[in-house]
């Protein structure tokens, strides 16, 4: 069995949805990436600038890299019933354990199998935490195509999958990229509450609800706060309307952290939240950002039952107090 087929077989055994190969030459085109940075759309995500050169040249991470094995791990789940009340919604990728850990464990097992099968082949693994341009490699390998919403989409299947890469010093036969399948569809453009998705494709990250609720430390621009709706961490709106999403199966196992109790979230200390969300992607925003988001969503719900929790939070100095004051003004406005 040749190395490519061996790795694909092992990847399937480890639960990956897809495993395809991209050649490292020619170098990745970085024009769109550089335009994104130049426009200021990265906002507070400074690592996108500092890691730019490493993303452009995989050799800086693995000298002699010839191929990139791109892996997709499905996280599609059925949305549990809305409990209503003073609750906020979490993006589906964050319902369970932190994908950086459990997907990387699978990649490391694949790496270990590679060392046994072909000990002379060097490798470098990544799962969304190293300066690797996973989405561009996935597009080159044909794992999916880049949709208008900037998500990687597997036609007729899903965009709800995590990407991982295993860069290799071996030259494997590359797979062909996929054609664009968006066509004239603009459902994601129309569904985005904040207008973050450009009609011709591309994402203004600083207007994206995922950026505003997870990455940004600064207060959300006041004009955008009502547009957050009930999203307290991330957003799935552009994926929910995509016609390439297959029907989600309910496997009978209810995921955690789908709907969050907002007054409880708002009243928890930063330390308590860090402990509560240990091992969850929610830990990335735990503390002031999650409490700030909880206040925004309570303001959007407009339920007077939230007033006591918001009044307590409004006495704080900083982004949480500012968010609580804004929410109170929304609820109390005539």
- Catalogue the active-site residues: 128
Please report, rounded to a whole number, the percentage of residues in the chain having pLDDT higher than 90: 89
Q: How many domains does the chain have?
A: 2
pLDDT of residue 135: 93
Residue 169 structure tokens: 């010093």
d(CA 291, CA 224): 17
Strand partners, 146: 152
Q: Are residues 145 and 11 in the same domain?
A: yes
Q: Which residue has the higher pLDDT, 202 or 297?
A: 297
pLDDT in tens, 94-153: 999 999 999 999 999 999 999 999 999 999 999 988 899 999 999 999 999 999 999 999
pLDDT in tens, 314-329: 999 999 999 999 999 9
In a domain, 296, yes or no: yes
In a domain, 176, yes or no: no
Q: Are residues 242 and 145 in the same domain?
A: no
Q: Are residues 164 and 285 in the same domain?
A: no
pLDDT in tens, 245-300: 876 665 556 678 999 999 999 999 999 999 999 999 999 999 999 999 999 999 99
d(CA 71, CA 89): 28
In a domain, 90, yes or no: no
Residue 259 structure tokens: 């709907």
How far are the Cα atoms of 46, 280, 326 from residue 223, in angstroms, in the given order?
Answer: 24, 30, 11
d(CA 74, CA 143): 12
Q: Are residues 253 and 307 in the same domain?
A: yes
pLDDT of residue 317: 92
pLDDT of residue 252: 56
In a domain, 242, yes or no: yes
pLDDT at 179 over 70: yes
Claim: this prediction has a pTM higher than 0.85: yes
Domain finish residue from 168, 200, 222: 168
d(CA 29, CA 51): 15
Q: Are residues 157 and 16 in the same domain?
A: yes
Q: Are residues 156 and 222 in the same domain?
A: no
In a domain, 178, yes or no: no
Which of 304, 303, 322, 306 lies closest to 314 in space, CA to CA?
A: 322
In a domain, 60, yes or no: yes
Model confidence band, residue 20 (pLDDT cutoffs 50, 70, 90): very high
Q: Are residues 151 and 198 in the same domain?
A: no
Please report, rounded to a whole number, the percentage of residues in the chain having pLDDT higher than 70: 97
- Other C-beta atoms closer than 10 Å to the C-beta of 318 total 11
| Domain residue limits at 254 | 187-332
């Amino acid at each position: 069995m040749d190395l490519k087929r061996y790795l694909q077989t092992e990847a399937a055994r480890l639960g990956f949805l897809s495993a395809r190969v991209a050649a490292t030459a020619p170098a990745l085109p970085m024009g769109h990436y550089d335009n994104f940075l130049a426009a200021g759309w990265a906002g507070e995500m400074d690592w996108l600038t500092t890691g730019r050169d490493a993303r452009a040249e995989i050799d800086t991470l693995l000298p002699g890299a010839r191929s990139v094995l791109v892996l997709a791990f499905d996280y599609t789940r059925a949305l549990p019933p809305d409990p209503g009340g003073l609750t906020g919604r979490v993006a589906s990728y964050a319902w369970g354990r932190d994908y950086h850990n459990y997907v990387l464990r699978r990649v490391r097992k694949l790496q270990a199998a590679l060392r046994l099968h072909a000990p002379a082949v060097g490798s470098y693994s990544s799962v969304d935490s190293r300066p690797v341009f996973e989405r561009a490699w996935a597009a080159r390998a044909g794992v999916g195509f880049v949709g208008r919403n900037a998500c990687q989409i597997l036609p007729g299947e899903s965009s709800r999958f995590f990407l991982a890469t295993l860069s290799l010093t071996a030259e494997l036969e590359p797979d062909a990229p996929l054609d664009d399948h968006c066509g004239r569809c603009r459902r994601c453009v129309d569904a985005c509450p904040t207008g973050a998705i450009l009609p011709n494709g591309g994402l203004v990250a600083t207007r994206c609800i995922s950026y505003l609720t997870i990455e940004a430390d600064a207060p959300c621009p006041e004009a955008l706060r009502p547009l957050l709706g009930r999203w307290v961490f991330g957003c799935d709106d552009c994926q929910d309307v995509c016609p390439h999403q297959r029907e989600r199966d309910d496997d009978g196992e209810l995921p955690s952290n789908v709907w969050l109790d907002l007054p409880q979230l708002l009243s928890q200390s930063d330390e308590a939240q860090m402990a509560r969300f240990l091992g969850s992607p929610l830990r990335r925003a735990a503390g002031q950002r999650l409490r700030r988001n909880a206040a925004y969503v309570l303001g959007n719900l407009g339920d007077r039952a939230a007033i006591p929790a918001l009044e307590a939070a409004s006495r704080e100095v900083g982004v949480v107090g500012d968010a609580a004051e804004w929410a109170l003004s929304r609820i109390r406005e005539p």
